[in-house]
Structure 1
């Protein structure tokens, strides 16, 4: 659920977008010098990675008895398939261990490093039975399914695939319930405190006043004129039948399970260390989300050090606006003064759009290559907005949370927009997907340390680009930087040092300008999703340190556009690969991957 090839409930429903796996070997081969034939090691690596990635993408393919296309199929998450995944990735890692890595081409050495990190993370998730806890504080498998209702339907085939998907919901939910029961039995559940209100999404489907009022019927309310009226009527009838026979009963069964078994039986402790084999489990999440072998103690200390540095800059801004008082008093002022808040949801969306266009005005000064794909700005769906974060972005979408407007300060909106839209997620992800010089397993997957690190770097870059128009907006950016640095302290504190939920909340309230509502939802997210919050600041630190190294080494030859293009051309990679690429950038005299576009 957390990685799955750009499929995510955090954005409007998107189809599986993996490029044909057969292109992987062709792409890798194309990266080799023409005068140098591929080595046996190259051929073996490409054989291993192509076969496994083909199989991995096939995990989303239809079941034997399903008429649905791959784009509409819910995966098999049953015990047999989980055992197959464990065996497959165990064998794949053994095959990688047996390779002569030194004999790989330069391009494939990078591909090997990226691919191995993916396999190690996938294997660790299977070993620790991550599938028995198929939810975080603001995502869930039923939320993923509900995301299809917000998809784009253009043809009759789109609707037929959607109907076929609805018919699979009972099987899919039954498998998830079996997995969750296994997790309950061994104490591997989401913490109870993070599950408050999560059954409301399920209840909304069960309690709909009519089939036509069901959220799952929404795509059929208005259908494209290109579909003949008779076909529209047929599809609507089929959809109503699927909702009546499959969707509603499956959600009723899930709701009963959640309310009578899962919610009452969920663990009351917060720490990952309290889970089965908890210390090893949390260390595996650090390796997955940070891609560096750091101990919790090291990361906690880095967080404390960075919080102190950012706090010093916060005091400078307070002096700049002539605020007489303490930092907590300034934070209270920011959280309560009406000048920093809007009263209508559309006003927040309008401001976000304005900020996004401000970036467009300077984008050519900082980036040589921009993606072809643009993005929409939409509100977070009402059903999930109360416990959702302030916003989220990705290919084609920037979601802005317009729920509880007094908790959505304008001074934080520029940083949020740069992070979630461009040059953050809604730009980096499409650039990776459009880079045909990368194998598919690099174009279509997401490594949090890189993706979130880049997005957080984008926030800081906004100061250099002139996006922040007032000292308060600069403070909002610093608050967001502080928020991510504080995560290093809070996440490790919760999961390894016995911090309480209230202690974590207070740490964020004391050090950031986040609203109390945001602090509550964020802390619950860290509790339910161990280690993920560490990726942001650790990733940004790597990019900042590598940039400083390049600037020092290249002097006047340093070209910011070339540097950014060099980092972004990688796709989504472990942090050591970023450092290796920047080292090569320095050796190349600061020439980036697209010299003609970087002049």
Structure 2
């Protein structure tokens, strides 16, 4: 999945993605008059520019991720009622302003912008009506995790100038305030019965107490990383001052904050956490889940409709897995076939992490010639493959962290490799690369960010159904790109697609009360060759982020439907590279808006 760098769960449940994302100039306060210029509401684009300026100030972590470095020292407390009230007024105000424009009088691109903007703001206003603010973070997303990624020196926060280093200390101070408010919101949730499942809290506590978080020697801290990587042009005096300030901040602010969070979770919150698995079990839970299902799929499909679709897709993919089982000469049941794959040496050809990373680089080399036939437009942004950082590797999934539009920060494909010798290609190695890296998230996100003709809210938008749907669709391009020739890799691709089909069943099952955590894990084990540990981690992710897992399959099926429609409709006039270019050139959008846009394109061919 795409890595979403956002200030908090409220923001994550809104839109700027998942996370769903740019210059690296020295961070300074904005130039005189720049805010006033950006605040101009002359015309529709003026409205959009004004909105984006205010949004960036309200969500400076996302601004940093998008390369706007004016607010790199800021970390507003998004855990307060005042902050939520500010957002509500902000969104409603811009909905009202938008309504003053005559949509019928706009050109086609502005109509797309109008529709996306209206949809987006209505979703945000509706999201603020929910009581999810009582769940400030969990084991998968949230500021305590984002702080580690930003502050390590390897993420979105720039550490190139003395001002950059000083800016980070401002965010550290903001984090200590945020943590106190987050604990307060957790306590409000404990009183109201809006609490996280116990199985998730158990995973959160070690994250807060990780050895590079809870240190007595500041040089051993994750947050000491920037000190170990000082730019060469820093003076000795600056290095000395900054080093001392970072050591002090680590020992007096960072470590105590993580300790406070870990102790609270262990001593107060864990005993009050719930044994149930789905969000339906908390007050207002069914309404919360209906919202998230709509938010992540950008459709009006009900949880029941999505559940039924998932069952059909699982049945279709099981039939293809049965065929591959026969092709590989296995005589037992599909469940026994899955178990055999976990121990088959042919499926585990690596010994070291570097060998796994080299395997991914080989995939990139293989598909490169065929990519040129499928895409007329390719990103300018550089791309890298990296191993996931040690502090979060044990509980992380492979992910893509977007680069900056100006190319100064590459798009990064992160691969967690806690046990490299056990890395099994039937987990979907080739399909994983197509999804998370090229042409999946890297192409889609980079092309969108590089399109400076889009309003900012579209240039940096993130809609799960199209973002993840596109990435899953890219997995289906494997054979056309020269992959899936190894039957183990193809089984891995089937496994990856099966995962997305199973998600429709287990996510809806968990959050409507049809499945417990244990039943959902068993269902995944019955239909996939992953390990019980992997399936447990996956189910706990779906428990933590209701509805997010629905986006992939819903979006993929829509894109496949559109391709099939136009291939039939246009015949010899259909060109796959033109279809892909048109699909991506205007950025991601709700699926209904996408379909309208693509139908108009097809009529012009």
Residue 50 (1) aligns with residue 52 (2): no
The match for 1:398 is 413
Rounded Cα–Cα distance in structure 2 between residues aligned with 1:498 and 1:297: 11
List alignment gaps of at least 5 residues for structure 2.
Answer: 1-5, 7-11, 62-68, 404-410
Residues 209, 262 of structure 2: 8 Å contact kept: yes
The match for 2:574 is 558
Aligned-pair CA distance for 1:539? 0.3
Rounded Cα–Cα distance in structure 1 between residues aligned with 2:423 and 2:568: 39
Residue 369 (1) aligns with residue 384 (2): no
| TM-score in terms of structure 2 length | 0.87
Residues 14, 124 of structure 2: 8 Å contact kept: no
Residue 303 (1) aligns with residue 318 (2): no
Q: How does 1:161-172 map to 2 (within 5 A)?
A: 161-172=167-178
Rounded Cα–Cα distance in structure 2 between residues aligned with 1:386 and 1:15: 34
Which residue of 451, 454, 457 maps to 2:473? 457
| TM-score in terms of structure 1 length | 0.88
Residue 235 (1) aligns with residue 242 (2): yes
Indicate the SS of the match to 1:464.
coil
Rounded Cα–Cα distance in structure 1 between residues aligned with 2:588 and 2:185: 30
Aligned-pair CA distance for 1:143? 0.6
Rounded Cα–Cα distance in structure 1 between residues aligned with 2:15 and 2:76: 13
Rounded Cα–Cα distance in structure 2 between residues aligned with 1:48 and 1:310: 47
The match for 1:585 is 601
The match for 1:211 is 218
Aligned-pair CA distance for 1:189? 2.6
Cα distance per residue 1:464-492 (max 9 Å; x no partner): 21222212211111111111011111111
Residues 379, 402 of structure 1: 8 Å contact kept: yes
The match for 2:261 is 254
Report the more deviating stretch, 146-155 or 109-118. 146-155
Aligned-pair CA distance for 1:183? 2.5
Rounded Cα–Cα distance in structure 2 between residues aligned with 1:360 and 1:232: 43
Residues 26, 161 of structure 2: 8 Å contact kept: no
Cα–Cα, structure 1 residues 180 and 9, in superposed 2: closer, same or farther, change >3 Å? farther
The match for 1:429 is 445
Cα distance per residue 1:150-203 (max 9 Å; x no partner): 335222222121222223221222222222222222222321212223222322
Rounded Cα–Cα distance in structure 2 between residues aligned with 1:174 and 1:282: 28
Indicate the SS of the match to 2:413.
strand
Indicate the SS of the match to 2:385.
strand
Aligned-pair CA distance for 1:232? 1.0
Residue 154 (1) aligns with residue 160 (2): yes
The match for 2:74 is 73
Cα–Cα, structure 1 residues 75 and 8, in superposed 2: closer, same or farther, change >3 Å? farther
The match for 1:30 is none
Aligned-pair CA distance for 1:249? 2.3
The match for 2:279 is 272
The match for 2:407 is none
Aligned-pair CA distance for 1:8? 7.7
Aligned-pair CA distance for 1:498? 2.5
Indicate the SS of the match to 1:488.
helix
Indicate the SS of the match to 1:185.
helix
Indicate the SS of the match to 1:566.
helix
The match for 1:34 is none
Q: How does 1:437-586 map to 2 (within 5 A)?
A: 437-586=453-602
The match for 2:184 is 178
Rounded Cα–Cα distance in structure 1 between residues aligned with 2:191 and 2:26: 33
Cα distance per residue 1:263-300 (max 9 Å; x no partner): 22222211222222222211111111000001111101
Which residue of 130, 153, 160 maps to 2:132? 130
Report the more deviating stretch, 448-457 or 116-125. 116-125
The match for 1:90 is 92
Cα–Cα, structure 1 residues 247 and 536, in superposed 2: closer, same or farther, change >3 Å? same
Q: How many residues align?
A: 566
Aligned-pair CA distance for 1:248? 2.2
Cα distance per residue 1:420-455 (max 9 Å; x no partner): 111111221111100112111011121111110001
Cα–Cα, structure 1 residues 406 and 182, in superposed 2: closer, same or farther, change >3 Å? farther
List alignment gaps of at least 5 residues for structure 1.
Answer: 28-41, 63-67, 590-599
Rounded Cα–Cα distance in structure 1 between residues aligned with 2:418 and 2:497: 23
Q: CA RMSD in A?
A: 2.9
Cα distance per residue 1:229-276 (max 9 Å; x no partner): 221111111111222332222222222222222222222211222222
Rounded Cα–Cα distance in structure 2 between residues aligned with 1:513 and 1:580: 39
The match for 2:65 is none
Residues 76, 174 of structure 2: 8 Å contact kept: no
Residues 505, 523 of structure 1: 8 Å contact kept: yes
Report the more deviating stretch, 481-490 or 213-222. 213-222
Cα–Cα, structure 1 residues 206 and 556, in superposed 2: closer, same or farther, change >3 Å? closer
Report the more deviating stretch, 164-173 or 360-369. 164-173
Rounded Cα–Cα distance in structure 1 between residues aligned with 2:505 and 2:290: 15
Cα–Cα, structure 1 residues 406 and 283, in superposed 2: closer, same or farther, change >3 Å? farther
Rounded Cα–Cα distance in structure 2 between residues aligned with 1:3 and 1:279: 16
Which residue of 345, 367, 374 maps to 1:359? 367
Residues 464, 552 of structure 2: 8 Å contact kept: yes
Cα distance per residue 1:512-551 (max 9 Å; x no partner): 2222222111110111111110000000000000000010
Indicate the SS of the match to 2:203.
coil
Rounded Cα–Cα distance in structure 2 between residues aligned with 1:491 and 1:261: 28
The match for 2:113 is 111
Cα–Cα, structure 1 residues 10 and 257, in superposed 2: closer, same or farther, change >3 Å? farther
